[in-house]
Amino acid sequence: MVGRDELPQEDRTEVPPTLERLARHAGRVEVIVGSMFSGKTEELIRRVKRALYARQV
């Protein structure tokens, strides 16, 4: 596999501005895990309420 820095200059492409904009606004995925009755749903509700209070949703 050839890395980008190893390609000749004419074969290099610039990242489109739309991809750069998306990268700045990238999100994340968090997984809440645990056994049954360990508080996963309560944690999810707590996070939603917190995001609503902070006006992130």
pLDDT band for 39, please (50, 70, 90 cuts): very high
| The pLDDT value given to residue 4 | 55
Parent domain of 50: 29-57
Tokens of 55: 């006006």
* CB-count exposure of residue 40 (10 Å: 0-12, 13-18, 19+): middle
What's the domain count of the chain?
A: 1
pTM of the predicted structure, to 2 decimals: 0.51
The more confident residue out of 45 and 55 is 45
Whether 8 maps to a domain, the answer reads no
pLDDT band for 55, please (50, 70, 90 cuts): confident
pLDDT band for 30, please (50, 70, 90 cuts): very high
Whether 38 maps to a domain, the answer reads yes
Whether 52 maps to a domain, the answer reads yes
Cα–Cα distances in angstroms (integers) from residue 51 to residues 41, 45, 46, 47, 57, in the given order: 15, 10, 9, 6, 6
Is residue 40 within 8 A of residue 34, CB to CB? The reply is yes
Whether 49 maps to a domain, the answer reads yes
